[in-house]
Amino acid sequence: MAQQIADTRDVDFVLNEQFKVEKFSEHEKFADFNKKTINMIVKEARSLAIKEILPTQSDKGCEFNAGEVKVPEEFHKPFKLFMEGEWLGMSDSPEYGGGGMPRTVSLAASEYFIGANVSFMLYQGLSHGAMKMLEEIGTDEQKEIYLKKMYSGEWAGTMLLTEASAGSDVGALESTAKKNDDGTYSITGNKIFISGGEQDLTDNIIHPVLARIEGAPAGTKGISLFLVPKYRVNEDGSLGEFNDVVCTGIEEKMGLHGNATCSLTLGGKGNCVGTLLGEESKGMKAMFLMMNEARMLVGLQGFANATTSYMYALNYARERVQSAFLLKPKEGGVPIIKHPDVRRQLLIMKSYVDAMRSIIYYSGTCFDTIATSDNEEEIQKWKGMLEILTPIIKGYCTDKAWEVCSHAVQVYGGYGYCQDFPVEQLLRDSRIFMIYEGTNGIQAMDLLGRKLGLNKGKSFMDFLGEIKKTIDEANGIDSLNGLGSKLETIYNKYTELVATMGKTAMSEDVLAAFIHATPLLEITGDLTSAWMLLWRAITATKAMEGKVKKKDMPFYEGQIKTAEFFISSMLPVTSGKIDSINVMNTAVTDMSEEAFGSK
């Protein structure tokens, strides 16, 4: 059962061998988190995930009745255990109830939790984002009222951004805020697609809400952010009257049935009151404090679903006996993992899962480096690195997660398409990750339009520089059989491409550039994946030069073979995609709307 969430050996490898997370314990901030402690934390997270959260994984939905939402009954016990274990704020400051551990370690723990049941963990995910935003820009009074109870899990948090007329175009929102004499604001509006907007797990729900103050300018420049609790809070911290935040329904969705996706009406009776969070007309800037974390979280959700799907498929392939082995056609059936095409699919899945794990954990090391550095130049470098990684983690990782989950269904064959087996649900659950918190098309536009030129291009050059360091190291290892030079060939083509794309995006041919934004994101993700897999192969090669237990040899050899497969068999396709973009074909924009088809 444990293997059906994540490859525990690989988690250990990335934490302790590839990234050597224990090094952060040398700094006072993380002095309590040596290797023994880190391993214990991850082990405890895995235990909770397997014993308490995984059994709740089902397609059971939420119940809506007269404004109230009941989550699946089996969620209540693990929710209580999760909060009692203080897992919500693992890497946050202990001041309000956080655990103060390195971000990288919390990501490893979260992989197990989310892989066990992503619908269940969604209730915690947005709460954490709301907490961090409040911690960053809230007033002392707001922090005093809300934070400790949100960290403890007594109260939850959400994000009220989307409206029927304002999805990706947030500036078109219609929710309004009218200032009252006491400094509060009366909020009126309707919000949709609110994950966990109503539920029966907590006593109160704290909603950060985007709205426009009466008289503020149109568009995103006039948007402010407000803190709106479901129940008002009295001076002594107890719950007061209902704050006119009404759930009007929940969505019937393709997946994630265990998480309530709500429509909310604020101030339908004229009695919804909120307080300004941050500054007037700076709501979008404030919301992006939460949005960037949310986008990283979505990438983690996609990855966690993918690694769970891979482990299910791998175990099934080892157990399912079907057809004779090609080299022994007269003998009986063999486990399908013996068949070349099944092995090909499994290795594609493993390549992406391994790469995603390293990319996501690497983002954690960026956070931890920032937290332990007193060098401003270094801090800015790693902040820039996180900016570059955000669209890759959110966009590329969720695209590939969907692909991995689809391969899992294929490995199961007809059974994979049936609800008797878990991979069918994991595939459906994974589709939303490519959409919410900014569609992957928006992530691609962000990479091309903002991230290539971030800090006058320095951040992207730092990103490319880190890749080149790994290539250079690999080129000095003969046993890797030229994997470094193969990657370097694609790397050089890529650097030429981004230089061209960056210039085109700032020219009169801007549309020609943005036609190819999504392919550029995919190519960037492929390059990043190859970088991480090559780094893994280097780490494994070095380990094999020392004393290695016999049982660990296949694992290390697998790291090298996985890198070899991805770089030798999959990167040539990436090279072709680079050639495709370089043509700069504009049929997409040249074609008339009528030519797409009749009305």
The Cα–Cα gap between 378 and 482 comes to: 32
The Cα–Cα gap between 352 and 360 comes to: 12
Which is nearest to 41 in space by CA: 15, 13, 19, 14? 15
The Cα–Cα gap between 114 and 120 comes to: 8
Q: Report the chain's terminal Cα–Cα distance, integer Å.
A: 51
The Cα–Cα gap between 245 and 307 comes to: 38
Contact 315, 412 (CB under 8 A): no
The residue type found at 452 is L
Q: Report CA 249 to chain centroid distance, whole Å.
A: 27
Instruction: Print burial letters for 119-142: b (CB count within 10 Å at least 16), e (below 16).
Output: bbbbbbbbbbbbbbbbbebbeeeb
Helices 517-544/571-583 angle, 10° precision = 150
The CA angle 467-471-477, to the nearest 5 degrees, is 150
Element (H or E) spanning 233, and its range? strand 231-233
Paired tokens of 161:
């951004």
Paired tokens of 537:
């192969």
User: Hey, which residues does 190 pair with through a beta bridge?
Assistant: 265
Paired tokens of 252:
């019937």
The residue type found at 392 is I
Contact 214, 231 (CB under 8 A): no
Whether the CA torsion 285, 290, 293, 298 is positive or negative: it is: negative
- DSSP category for residue 154: S
Which residues, 6 or more positions from 250, have their beta carbon under 8 angstroms from its beta carbon?
62, 64, 69, 198, 260, 261, 262, 263
The Cα–Cα gap between 466 and 483 comes to: 17
The Cα–Cα gap between 450 and 517 comes to: 12
Instruction: Print burial letters for 246-255: b (CB count within 10 Å at least 16), e (below 16).
Output: bbebbbeeeb
What are the CB-based long-range contacts (under 8 Å, 24+) for 464-470? 464/491, 464/495, 466/385, 466/531, 467/491, 467/527, 467/528, 467/531, 470/531, 470/534, 470/535, 470/538
Which residues, 6 or more positions from 55, have their beta carbon under 8 angstroms from its beta carbon?
74
Catalogue the active-site residues.
Answer: 437
Paired tokens of 178:
């009218």
The Cα–Cα gap between 381 and 85 comes to: 34
